[in-house]
Structure 1
């Protein structure tokens, strides 16, 4: 089964990163809208605890973190290529910087009071407070708006220097670095337009953003969370590839373990460790609703521990 089910919500920057990769790859996918804050019972039924947005479901296989999702989509649809051979190292390093540092500065800039007020305008009373409390519980870093603004301006100038020379960051075609850098800027421009004046000083960045947006978001079909859980319950996880076990922890395969995000989102996923390769972990777990599932995480950015 290769039907792609993306669990996301419209204003999630990281979800937009994946939606744009789906457009770049010209893929069809099913769209499950998840809550932006806890509780998320349908999410947890599939992931076992991981609550960050988005995650990708293929049958009874659940892929967490956009870095891993991009790898999965590249494997399923190799062309057009996300990781050009001559850029494999630099594109991954740049993407990691963008997902962490650029994203952090952009969010701290966008969600200062004027931006937050615009983002939550028209939503029910208490929505803004619920969002703040949820992100505080996730352990999201807090940067002073003035510091974030200065950093964001600097990063935009650096990106402008790159796209003044090429249509995309590293040449004539986009790569994974472009998608990682684009999504926080998209949030600024589209979700909190009252804050988008910061982009006007770098017209080359705006032109690059237009080129990124023109690739679309693939072909999406609405799908319910319950239907997604039913898909998992009716499927079997795919056989794991024959990759070598790479033991960095002294925890053998078959052990009961937890995996937790290193930076923010403290909720652990518990299961049986069935793979620990050079690039990813896989846990087997059973849920009363979703049945037997495999939950996959990248190694970078996640902490593996024996379960208590």
Structure 2
């Protein structure tokens, strides 16, 4: 049985916008589960065991974390048009720079008070305070740029991206669109939503035209789904995508491990190792509502630790 694609997301999430555009570019139908933007997120944690970043991609009882891994999953599901064309070997490294460095520059600039008032739904003092409190806990211990530093660095990045596109190619790395375009686009989409703050984009005509083309991809065909239904679908799935633990990578099948992000949202997820390779790690865990779930993470940006027991 080929299970439906279920995206757990919320409208203003930049990385969710990246996933939505990827689904649109691949022409894939999907189910939309709207989740809270702040904790608590009981249905999310039932599926992930602790990981709380947005979005998640659920396929039956398999849950894929981080858009870098989701892109690989969608590529396997629908290989054309490719997100990793042979003509753009730097696509994945540029996407990684955008998802980590450019994202935090964009988020810092966009979420200054004037931008936050435009981005946040119903931006009352209480909702703004709740959002900032949630994100402060989420990023505790992480070194983030100041607004002054982020502004200068974002301006430099925007100028470089604009110069790249002003050479006449339709996409960042040439004639073919790649994962790099999607990773840069979601960052600038967030800035563009930030009301008066979006003026930082104004000087860059080629970049704005490219962003218009990216956002015109749209989100494809999707239908709403309640999060409780998605959890029940995981419990009823009756199987998982095949996985193997590749030898020589320092871990053995069936080991008790935890997997955690290394930058922010570092809540560890505990389980039994059932999949490991150069690009991803998969752990099996059980939840009283979601049942037997396999949670998949990319290797990049995550750390695996051996534990005493699952």
Task: Tell whether the structures are fold-level matches, with TM greater than 0.5.
Answer: yes
Matched residues, number:
304
Alpha-carbon distance change, 104 to 29 in structure 1, aligned in 2, over 3 angstroms: same
- Offset of residue 209 of structure 1: 0.6
| Structure 2 SS opposite 1:281 | strand
- Offset of residue 276 of structure 1: 1.4
Partner of 1:206: 208
- Offset of residue 27 of structure 1: 0.9
Partner of 1:54: 55
After the TM superposition, which of the residue ranges 9-18 and 115-124 deviates more from structure 2?
115-124
Q: State the Cα deviation string for residues 130-168 of structure 1 (Å, max 9, x = none).
A: 111111111254321111111111101111011112111
Cα distance in 1 between the residues matched to 2:60 and 2:110: 36
Q: State the Cα deviation string for residues 49-79 of structure 1 (Å, max 9, x = none).
A: 1000001000000000000000000000000
* Maintained 8 Å contact 1:108/1:143: yes
Cα distance in 1 between the residues matched to 2:27 and 2:277: 29
Partner of 1:247: 249
- Offset of residue 241 of structure 1: 4.4
Partner of 1:227: 229
Cα distance in 1 between the residues matched to 2:122 and 2:60: 36
1:39 pairs with 2:40:
yes
Partner of 1:197: 199
Unaligned 5+ runs, structure 2: none
Partner of 1:273: 273
| Structure 2 SS opposite 1:85 | coil
Alpha-carbon distance change, 44 to 121 in structure 1, aligned in 2, over 3 angstroms: closer
| Structure 1 SS opposite 2:202 | helix
Alignment of 1:93-132 (within 5 A): 93-120=93-120, 122-132=122-132
- Offset of residue 307 of structure 1: 2.8
Q: State the Cα deviation string for residues 185-216 of structure 1 (Å, max 9, x = none).
A: 001113x1221101111011110011101111
- Offset of residue 237 of structure 1: 3.3
Partner of 2:190: 187
- Offset of residue 182 of structure 1: 0.4
Cα distance in 1 between the residues matched to 2:133 and 2:248: 38
1:81 pairs with 2:77:
no
Cα distance in 1 between the residues matched to 2:130 and 2:163: 39
Cα distance in 1 between the residues matched to 2:165 and 2:298: 29
Cα distance in 2 between the residues matched to 1:12 and 1:122: 15
Alpha-carbon RMSD across the aligned residues, in angstroms, is 1.5
- Offset of residue 41 of structure 1: 0.3
Cα distance in 2 between the residues matched to 1:44 and 1:303: 19
Query: Normalization by structure 1: what TM-score?
Result: 0.95
Cα distance in 1 between the residues matched to 2:286 and 2:261: 21
Partner of 1:237: 239
Cα distance in 2 between the residues matched to 1:242 and 1:64: 18
- Offset of residue 255 of structure 1: 1.4
